Structure 1
Amino acid sequence: MKLRDRLRVLFTGRLPIDVFVDQAYERVKQVAGGTVVSPGVARWPEDGYANWAREAYGKNELVYACITEIATSVPEAPLRIYRDTAAGWEEVPDHPLRQLIRRPNPVLSEYELWELTVVHLYLAGNAYWEIVRSRDGRPKELWPLRPDRVRIIPDPDPRIHHTYAYAVDGQLYPLGTDVLHFKFPNPLDEYFGQPPLRAAVRAVAVDNEATAYVQSLLQNDAMPRVIVTTQQKLDEDTVERLRSRWRERYGRENRGMPAFLQAGMDVKVLGLNLKDLEFPDLRATSESRICAAFGVPPVLVGAKVGLDRSTFANYSEARRSFWEETISPLLRRLADRINHKLLPMFRDSEGLEARFDTSEVSALQESVNEKWRRITEAVEAGWLMVDEARAEAGYDPFPDGRGRVLLRPTSVAEVPVGGGGEDGGGGGEPGDDEAPARRPRPTPGGDEGGLGEPGDTPGAEPSTPTEDGPPPGGDGEPGKQRSGPRRILKSREAIAESRNRLADRYERRWREWAREEFQAEARDTLRAFWLATTGRRFKALADDELMEFLTTLEQMGISWRQRIQDGSAELIYEQLVDAAGEAGSELDVAFQLNNDFAKRFVERYVFIFAQALSRASQDRIREIILAGQRDGLTINEMKRRLLEEFDDWTAARAERVARTETLRASNAGAMMAYQQAGVQVVEWLPAGDACPYCKALKGRRWAVGSALFQVGDEWHPEGVERPYRITYEPVQHPPLHPHCRCTIVPVVD
């Protein structure tokens, strides 16, 4: 290896393509003893790869952008190995094939292997891996080969694998059958695939010619841009003096300055302007056809046809469509070929399957969130049993069968249809006003008015504990029948004071954690903004820079959610346990916290909390950047706005999170304790300085495990000007809003 190549490996970790390819065929040559394959009938691919790599991938920016977009997207989903078991597909993280893909050879990384493979596939329609085996016969190295140098020697028996060879300098070096061949379908050739670029080659040629024509005009147009005419004849010296003076006054940094002419002079502008050279219709047609051939939405690669017809609001939808319609089928094609040939080369491969893991792909993350939301809504509505929901989400059912239950909303009663109710009015047709499909139950504690508004759902009748577990809607420890607490040992005021005191005890830790998290998000954002703008300051944000930053922001949001979950889980768990312990001391029962139940409670709690907190950060950052773009701000001015926002995050926002989440965790822990102790009803107890919305809830009672308000509900007390809309999560306990200090107390007969 040359010195410069060694230095490149040292500083970048990469080698030029030709260097590691040369290493590949040199090893083959050594293994073969330098002999040439005996004469035979070798299949040669069509001559096009080198030309397309040079003229299309190397010179056409749109082709380069499309292939690069695909090639850099595929490595986002790592290839993993799974085993088929009775409980479902389980990952085998230490399988030798997974380790081989992680480090395919001493030169390439996993990312580079997939990136180069996709580039070969889209330029040639074929991609090849040479499989180098160890002494025990297992694959130990994978080397991608230049597709235009690979030859296929078919065997007369179609049941036998083809033999491959590598052509260099007119000689064929044998590779045998240890070659993994990825290819696109080709209806006219059973051996070699057809690249997508072949279908787009005419559009690429038109686009290249349009670019070359504009360049030629700009370089070779010898016409003067400006002609000054006079009514008198000028000698050569005068002309030269006037030309020099014009260039001095109106050239370079003085361009655009107003010119003043003497009487008898006139100025005319000649030549084409840049708008005339755009060829908008021609360019739009070729761009759309090129992007269609590769399956890449134009907006993702900055094509003008995409930017003109798309907005950044639907950019995420374009990325998701790109993944679902282009990348996912490509991943399936690659994985199927690996399962067909490479995986069986390892021992004990029976029952194993290689799949690309797309769970962490940023473009599909919204689909994952939608799946969780759909499952949660189905469980809360009583359509799915808990075990069915766990199976849908990829988790094992509960081993003791406690998950085979339906969680019915306590505000909905079952009404027979067609059986004639006790009031004699049943049995009507669907839609009949006299045959109601839902009968609201009375509010616990005898309150007549509930919330007193049309569409009221918070009021609910308490459910009776059964030997199967807590009241419907709960998630308490199953398998134990509870008689419920006999009395309360503390006054309502003492309960509220104790709960607020517990929240105050954790407030400082919450504030410190929130400040550190927001500072980390600020650093991530500023670093991504600097990279997207390449360190520029005094210019406006370009469209491609804006797209790059918004894409990075979506990816950062995923890492923020995970970091929030990891960083807050222990703090939340500790406070929940303390709050549950104090709530247990309020009741005349022997109470012991179920740790498994607490952990499940925390998992759901931190997931919702992390989703809301990270999404709020992303939305605010996106709002600042897009507003700055609309206002025509420079990059430096946008950065200044971000810094002002981050200053508020580490002060006011951190304080708001600390005040709100400490009280939320205290009440959640108390609700958890009440639920396990058999308390059926709780009551809202406003703080002394409560807002009008919370004061109006004084004395409001509802069933443990149910929600007082659902997301989307509006609470509009009498005498308050505007309703308060619930947007964060269902309100099962305080707080109702940020900085709320209200509490709940148990209701015991």
Structure 2
Amino acid sequence: MNLLQRARRRFELAAALDDASWSTGGNTYFGMGRPVGGEERSSAWDFEAAVRFAYKRNGPVFALMMVRQLVFAEARFQFRQIRNGRPGSLFGTTALDLLEKPWAGGTTGDLLSRMIQDADLNGNGFVTNYNPGRLKRMRPDWTIIVTGSQEEPHLAGDAIDGELIGYGYAPQGNWDNPVFLLPDQVAHFAPIPDPEFHFRGMSWLTPVVREITADSAATTHKLKFFEQGGTPQLVVSLDASVTPEAFAKFKAAMDAAHHGVDSAYKTLYLGGGADVTVAGKDLHQMDFKVTQGAGESRLAAAAGVPPSIVGFTEGLGGSSLNAGNYTAARRRFADATMRPLWRNAAGSLASIIDVPDGSELWYDDRDISFLQEDRKDAAEIQGIQSRTIRSLVDAGYEPASVVAAVEAEDFALLKHSGLYSVQLQKPGATDGAPPAPATTEEP
């Protein structure tokens, strides 16, 4: 059985899987997340639940994802030369046209926005070149990762010889008419690996689902506080002699006069026999700002975005916004979050475009406004490099080899011209020859 036949067989098994699932907290879970046969679903929770209950209804999650997306989508792609295993200069070819115009009306920014959205919500972003000359984003919840094994087919990807065979794609989740794609037809962007799987990624939202639920509950609590009048909760007790009918009338009259935000702060008048006790705490007493702010910071930590960058409460106090501290936060976000994401995206997309020999697909961040302050550091580095180049050229090394060696940080690329600086020669010496002996003229 050849590779394609094995792929088709594994895909047929994947399409026939039992979709037994259960839902809780607005999320849908599929068994243990590992269907029979070893096929890996793109995520163990429902994609639409993540979109509707996290991205579209939770302000902090939306803000974090938007910051990540806006910066991530600013990058461009170039090829980068590889010399003796070290990176060299950037260059472009017509092969990059597919990334610059991925679909009708689309740009590199649109492509990157889709990839980071899917990776944030699902842990996996899929893009295919199935249609020649165009790219297509594959919804992660309609995609499965198909793995296989020769020695132990029942274990598939978990076997010692387990390998990635391809991807199954079923628009609208219609597994009666799926499409099978080989690995070189799909760019799989999974920046956070799922420890339980070999090929599947994990969303950064997964570990903080409870924080999202708590933040949503806090927002609901705040809303209800104002909807119910914005006044302290009251317990009204009446004398035991009051009949049920009289109590019902009293309750209806009190609700009509004091229920709802439009009746907030109205003076409360009670007749004889009624006793009022304040119950519960207002937002100030429960320190609502600190409670909600701590949850936002935990979400920011999971997203890899400093609170001061996204504008969360705990990032806007004290010295957080001092120039030095903000610069450090911005650099941490760029160096520890964005650049690893760009590097992973470049490696993923390299599988579906033609990369020239002796080079790799790489990102170009030189025109990103968010990183412009880094250009000062780059200029200082270039100044040091230029002085190094001058010193090496003065020492007799060939200029072209000096530039290549400094760019690659590999002095093994240096080539000497055989000529030395005049300061290394004796006075009067030429072409490296010893000076002629002095002569004495006869008087």
TM tier relative to shorter chain: 0.5 to 0.7
Q: Distance in 1 between matches of 2:178 and 2:298?
A: 39
Query: CA deviation digits over 1:30-50, x for unaligned, max 9?
Result: xxxxx9997475543312322
Q: Distance in 2 between matches of 1:390 and 1:204?
A: 50
Query: CA deviation digits over 1:645-696, x for unaligned, max 9?
Result: xxxxxxxxxxxxxxxxxxxxxxxxxxxxxxxxxxxxxxxxxxxxxxxxxxxx
1:192 matched to 2:205: no
Q: Which residue identity is paired with 1:351?
A: G
**Greater fraction helix:** 1
1:161 matched to 2:165: yes
Partner of 1:67: 65
Contact 1:378 1:384 in 2 (8 A): no
Q: Distance in 2 between matches of 1:218 and 1:406?
A: 85
Q: Distance in 2 between matches of 1:155 and 1:378?
A: 50
User: What is the aligned counterpart of 1:82 among 80, 83, 95?
Assistant: 80
Q: Secondary structure at the match of 1:284?
A: helix
Taking the TM superposition and a 5 Å limit, the aligned residue runs for 1:448-487 are none
Partner of 2:310: 301
Q: Distance in 1 between matches of 2:341 and 2:407?
A: 25
Q: Distance in 2 between matches of 1:57 and 1:190?
A: 27
Q: Secondary structure at the match of 2:178?
A: strand
Contact 1:128 1:144 in 2 (8 A): yes
User: What is the aligned counterpart of 1:392 among 381, 406, 410?
Assistant: 406
User: What is the aligned counterpart of 1:323 among 310, 314, 334?
Assistant: 334
Taking the TM superposition and a 5 Å limit, the aligned residue runs for 1:22-421 are 39=16, 43-44=40-41, 45-84=43-82, 89-96=88-95, 98-134=96-132, 140-157=133-150, 158-159=162-163, 161-171=165-175, 172-177=177-182, 178-183=185-190, 184-221=192-229, 223=231, 275-276=284-285, 279-309=288-318, 310-313=320-323, 314-339=325-350, 341-343=351-353, 346=354, 349-376=356-383, 384-385=391-392, 388=402, 391-392=405-406
Q: Which residue identity is paired with 2:121?
A: L
**Greater fraction strand:** 2
Q: Distance in 1 between matches of 2:334 and 2:419?
A: 35
Q: Secondary structure at the match of 1:193?
A: coil
Q: Distance in 1 between matches of 2:313 and 2:428?
A: 64
Q: Secondary structure at the match of 1:129?
A: strand
Taking the TM superposition and a 5 Å limit, the aligned residue runs for 1:650-661 are none
Taking the TM superposition and a 5 Å limit, the aligned residue runs for 1:547-558 are none
Query: CA deviation digits over 1:142-180, x for unaligned, max 9?
Result: 111211111233233434522322252543521322222
Contact 2:385 2:406 in 1 (8 A): no
Gaps of 5+ in 2: 1-11, 18-36, 151-161, 234-261, 266-277, 394-398, 432-443
Q: Distance in 2 between matches of 1:287 and 1:123?
A: 17
Q: Distance in 2 between matches of 1:406 and 1:77?
A: 47
Q: Distance in 1 between matches of 2:223 and 2:73?
A: 37
Higher relative contact order (CA 8 A, sep 6+): 2
Question: Cα distance, 1:189 vs. partner?
Answer: 2.1
Q: TM-score, normalised by structure 2?
A: 0.62
Q: Which residue identity is paired with 2:344?
A: R
Q: Secondary structure at the match of 1:63?
A: helix
Q: Which residue identity is paired with 1:163?
A: Y
Query: CA deviation digits over 1:239-273, x for unaligned, max 9?
Result: xxxxxxxxxxxxx9xx9xxxxxxxxxxxxxx9976
Partner of 1:476: none
Contact 1:81 1:93 in 2 (8 A): yes
Contact 1:126 1:192 in 2 (8 A): yes
**Distance change >3 Å, CA 371–CA 66, structure 1 → 2:** same
Q: Which residue identity is paired with 1:356?
A: Y
Partner of 1:472: none
Q: Secondary structure at the match of 1:76?
A: coil
Q: Distance in 2 between matches of 1:401 and 1:358?
A: 36
Contact 1:375 1:389 in 2 (8 A): no
Contact 2:405 2:414 in 1 (8 A): no
**Distance change >3 Å, CA 278–CA 369, structure 1 → 2:** same
Q: Secondary structure at the match of 2:134?
A: strand
Structure having the higher Rg: 1
Q: Which residue identity is paired with 2:321?
A: T
Contact 1:81 1:95 in 2 (8 A): no
Question: Cα distance, 1:381 vs. partner?
Answer: 9.4
**Distance change >3 Å, CA 39–CA 404, structure 1 → 2:** farther
**Distance change >3 Å, CA 111–CA 466, structure 1 → 2:** farther
Q: TM-score, normalised by structure 1?
A: 0.38
Q: Secondary structure at the match of 1:132?
A: coil
Q: Distance in 2 between matches of 1:133 and 1:170?
A: 20
Gaps of 5+ in 1: 1-34, 135-139, 226-251, 256-269, 408-463, 469-749
Q: Which residue identity is paired with 1:127?
A: G
**Distance change >3 Å, CA 132–CA 169, structure 1 → 2:** closer
Contact 1:151 1:167 in 2 (8 A): no
Aligned residues: 326
Query: CA deviation digits over 1:301-341, x for unaligned, max 9?
Result: 110011114115132332222100101111121122233x2
**Distance change >3 Å, CA 160–CA 209, structure 1 → 2:** closer
Identical-pair percentage: 22
Q: Secondary structure at the match of 2:60?
A: helix
Q: Distance in 1 between matches of 2:232 and 2:371?
A: 55
**Distance change >3 Å, CA 352–CA 222, structure 1 → 2:** closer
**Distance change >3 Å, CA 290–CA 406, structure 1 → 2:** farther
Question: Cα distance, 1:357 vs. partner?
Answer: 1.1
Aligned-residue Cα RMSD (Å) equals: 4.2
Q: Distance in 2 between matches of 1:67 and 1:406?
A: 61
**Distance change >3 Å, CA 382–CA 205, structure 1 → 2:** same
Query: CA deviation digits over 1:696-722, x for unaligned, max 9?
Result: xxxxxxxxxxxxxxxxxxxxxxxxxxx
Q: Distance in 1 between matches of 2:364 and 2:346?
A: 11
